[in-house]
Structures are given as structure tokens and as C-alpha cells.
Amino acid sequence: MLLSLLTSFLILVVFLLLSNGDMYFIGFGCVTSFVVYTSIINIRYDSSEKMLLTQFYNYLSNVRHNYYSTGKKIDDTVYNSIDESPYEMALHAGKIHHILTSVDMQAEMDRYIPIAPNRFILSFVAITTSIMEYSDKVLSDGKSMLLTNIGYLKDEVHAELDKIRTNKQLFSMRSLVAILPVFFVKPIQLWANTTMPEIKEYYTGVYGFTCEIIIFVLSMICYMLINKLKETTQKNVKEHRLLQRMSKWPIISPILTKEVNRNFSKSQRMNDKLKLTGEHMGYKQFILKQFIVAISIFLGFQLIMMSSIWQEKNNILTDYANAFSTSFVADEEYQEEMKNVSKLYVNLVKKNPMLQDKDMLTQEIMNNSNITKPLMAELVADLVISKVNSLNDVYYKWYYLLISIGIAIIGFKSPLFILEYQVRSIKMNMEDEVGQFQTIVMMLMHVDNMSIRIIMEWMERFSYCFRESIQTCINELPADEERALAKLRDSETFHPFKRFVNNLLIVNDQGIEAAFDEIVQERTNAMEDRKKDNEEVCRKKAMYATFICVIPIAFEVGAYMIYPLIELTTRLQ
């Protein structure tokens, strides 16, 4: 973390020092430092995750090997396997041993759960604590319940490692491709200005500056979306306390309430989607977020327009690099004097439009400056009038407001687009989450005195897509267990999850082993199907990532390269 922060900070400082006030290089430095920071964090996180899973897989093998040699004492087995493990796995194994040997095992486990590095180690905690509390037993097939559960867990870890490897291979370089257009903005501008000076105005004016901003923003958005798609683990539920407080303000709350009541069915669908993505807010807060984004984008675009107008005017007033370069001037000193006179008279003519008459201005220059030759004075007058006309053409045009409103509307819709994107991405992981629930049940189903409440509590610890519904169900279980489970089933639309809850509903009538017998019988086929499903999900995500990474490139080629050439061709016809 410190290394990535220090590296990105140094990169930013270097670019700021070398930028010489150039907005492109300042923006380039910000983007580069952000990409370097996130890349280092992601690479180290992915490497640590894969390393720990590999260590844990080997640790489970050691536990299986040591179990009988310790007299089937799970706490001694966990402890004896520590010495054979690398530091990272040994650290967590030590914590698990501390849980197993503590006076209040449940309290220690609750303290460990928030810091558990992944759901697989958490599953191992569930297995070992249940064995410690209820002891091991021999199943109907003659195998130990503990060793059977560890076998299930090893299969899960192996499937996850395969998923990580597939994901890494399919997403290789895609996020960097999305950011590439930022690196080519200045080279394209230099190429165009060198080979076709006629289109320089497109790159130094409002149009070019606006395109540069869009390329930077678009590249960053696509880069973050691809990184989001690349993630294999789910994040925690996001709180939005500020939006929740703002939505209760007297001036805002009635407006939001009216909008929700007017679109009640839509608000219900939106609430379901927000719940699915882990956004802890309602439709009211979501509407408020849309308005905040729209207003911010509108004001931001106004700032960009004002800045680009100021920059274009500043370029007109200060850019004399090629002035008189094609004219016959006696020497460079005289040419420099002509430039200085031009700068002076541009400001004078701006204040006194009467001087825009070429003959009058030429005579004025000859009478009040060191430019006494009629031909040279006429060249200066032509340049001054040209620059003044260019300055008069640079102002806030009425259609800028229409563009701002259009972009604000897109900004208003953008949270909805992002939400749909997140929903689509998360739904790809729903099957995997239900598979995790099935594994939990297989690990706990043979434990004596196992109850639906304990199963639901462990499901809640592993859940993301269904967390809120499961939490509600747990709270309602004491009042009416069957009704709470039926409500959980009806609150979700994902069919495999509904089928899983149906199995929970018949536990009290048939027993937990009979209710989930089909899951155990189909275990081998289910693991193969999950492996194929994981590969398919990774491929779909990679396909979306490929499409996303092309968007900034397409915009840069179309709007920043081709459009100015088309405009130049049309103008010359």
C-alpha cells in the first residue's frame, strides 16, 4: 500500500514539475499515477489471494494427513499442521487454533469472521468449530465427517484457483488498452499540426480541448468498469449515509416521495436491483444521486467550456510562433519587432473597433511604431485584424447550453446504466453463490443438533447477492420458521436459489440429510458444471471488457482524428 502510494505520488510530482502549466500533461500525470496506484494494488492483491488459496489447499492436505495421528483431536490437528505451512497460512491457522481452544469459542469466532481473508478459510472455521463442539462421527459410507467436509472444501478451493487463472488469462491487458487513448492525445495533435497546419485550430480551440477532456474521462470510466468486471470476489455492502440524510431534508423529501409514489412499481424493481448490488439505499436516495450527478456534470461542462474559451483566446493572443515566418523580412530582430507591435495593436483594436479598417490601421502602425515600411506595416495590420476577428468568434455560443443540458441528461441516466451494468455482472455470480450455500449445507448437514437457524447464519456470512433477504429471514425465524423461509423464497427470482430454499422448507418434515440428499448425490456432476459455468462467466465478462476497452479508442479515432479531417475536406471543396 505504501509502495503504491509513494510510486504514484512521485509520478504525479514529476509530471506536475515537467508540465509547465500544460493541462494535458497535468491530466496525463494524474491518470498515470492513478493507473500505477491501482495496478500495483490489484497485482499485489491478486497475487496474495492466489498465494493464500494455494497455501490453504496444501494446509487442508496436511490436516487430513495429521488427523488420525493426533487421535482425532481437531485442535491438535490444526496446531500440528501449522509448522508445515508458510507464514501467511500459519498466521490464520494460529488464529483458528486460538478459537478452538478458547473458553468462549463463539465469541472468538465472531471476532475472527470480519477479518477472515476469504470464504474458504471461513468454511474451515465452520467445519472445525462444529467438530470441536459436537465431535466427529462416521458417515453411512464409512468415512469421517470431518475428512469428507475437508474433501468438499478442497474441491471448492481448487475450483476457485481455476477460476482465478482463467480470469487472469482472459482479462490480460484489457484495462491498459482502455487507458491507451490518453497516451496518444498529444502525439495525434503534434502529427496533425505538423502535417496539416490547416486543422491546428481544431486541436488548440474549444473542440480539441473538449475532446481531450472526454477522452480522459471516458478512458478512466472504462478502466474502472473493466477492473470491476475483473473482480472475482464480492465487496461489502455500501452505506450511503450522506444521501440518506439529504433525502430527509424538508425541501427535498416531498419531491422524492412524490416521484416514488408516481412510479411505485418501478421503485419496487429499483429497490430489488439496489439490494442485489449491495447498495444500501432506497429508490429515493437513488433519484437524489441521479440529480446530484446531473447537476455536477452540467456545472462541470460549463467550467470546461469556460476554460476552453479562455484557453483558445489565450492561444490567439500569445501564439506568434509562426507569424511572418513565410514573409520576406530583413532579419529576425525586425520580425520580432513586428510580433511585438502586433501584440500591442491586437489589444488596441479590441478596445477601439474603428481601427479594424486595414488602411487606417496600417497608417496608424507606420506613424506610431518602428514599423515604417508600408509592406511590413500592412502584414502586421493583416495579422492584427485576423487575430481580432478570431477573438470575436470565440465566445459562449447558445448551443453550448443545449449540449450541456444533453450531457446532464446522460449524466442523470448514468447511475441507472451503471446499476444495470452491476446487476448484469452480479447475476453472473449468483449461480456460484448458490453453489457455496450447497457446500455449506453439505458440511453441516451431518452435524448433530444442526438447525435451520445455524445454517442460515452461516449462509448470511457467505452471502452477497442474497444477503439482505437472508438477514430478514433470520430475524423472522423465531416467530414462524416456515413462513420466514417461504417469504425468503418468494422475495428472490433466481430459480436455483428458490429451489435451495424449498429444500430448507422440508427439513423439519424429512430431516436435513434427506432434504439435501440430491445435492450430495449430484456432487461430482455439480462440480463439473460449476467449473464450466465459471469459465462461461469469465468469458462473458471478458467479452464485455473487450467491448468496453474499445470505446475510448473509437471515440479518439472518430472524433479526434477523422472528424477534423472531414471538416477540412468539406471546407476546401
The rounded distance, in Å, linking the Cα atoms of 106 and 95 is 13
What is the per-residue pLDDT for 5? 72
Residue 462 one-letter amino acid: F
The rounded distance, in Å, linking the Cα atoms of 303 and 23 is 14
**Whose CA is closest to 486, among 477, 495, 478?**
477
Q: Is the pLDDT of residue 239 over 70?
A: no
Non-local (6+) Cβ contacts of 154 within 8 A are 57, 60, 61
Q: Is the pLDDT of residue 233 over 70?
A: no
- Mapped onto helix, strand or coil, the DSSP state of residue 412 is helix
User: Is 128 within 8 Å of 447 (Cβ atoms)?
Assistant: no
Lowest-pLDDT range, 103-112, 421-430, 494-503? 421-430
Considering only residues 277 and 79, tell me which one the structure prediction assigns the higher pLDDT: 79
Non-local (6+) Cβ contacts of 552 within 8 A are 178, 179, 180, 181, 215, 218, 219, 222
- Record the cell numbers describing residue 56, joined without a space: 490453504
The per-residue pLDDT for range 259-309, each reduced to its tens digit, is 888 877 778 788 877 777 767 778 888 888 889 989 988 998 888 888 878
Average pLDDT for the chain: 82
Lowest-pLDDT range, 12-21, 254-263, 462-471, 513-522? 12-21
What stretches of 145-262 adopt beta strand conformation (E)?
A: 238-239
The rounded distance, in Å, linking the Cα atoms of 202 and 559 is 11
Q: Is the pLDDT of residue 573 over 70?
A: no
Which helix (DSSP H) or strand (DSSP E) does residue 280 occupy? strand 279-280
**Whose CA is closest to 83, among 102, 100, 99, 66?**
66
Q: Is the pLDDT of residue 203 over 60?
A: yes
The rounded distance, in Å, linking the Cα atoms of 10 and 135 is 56
Across residues 238-263, what is the average pLDDT? Answer: 80
- Record the cell numbers describing residue 560, joined without a space: 479526434
For the four alpha carbons of 314, 320, 321 and 326, in that order, the dihedral sign comes to: positive
- Record the cell numbers describing residue 66, joined without a space: 495429521
The rounded distance, in Å, linking the Cα atoms of 453 and 448 is 14
Q: Is the pLDDT of residue 139 over 70?
A: yes
Q: Is the pLDDT of residue 237 over 60?
A: no
Tabulate helix, strand, coil % of the chain (nearest 5).
80, 0, 15
CA distances from 208 to 186, 260, 471 (A): 11, 41, 52
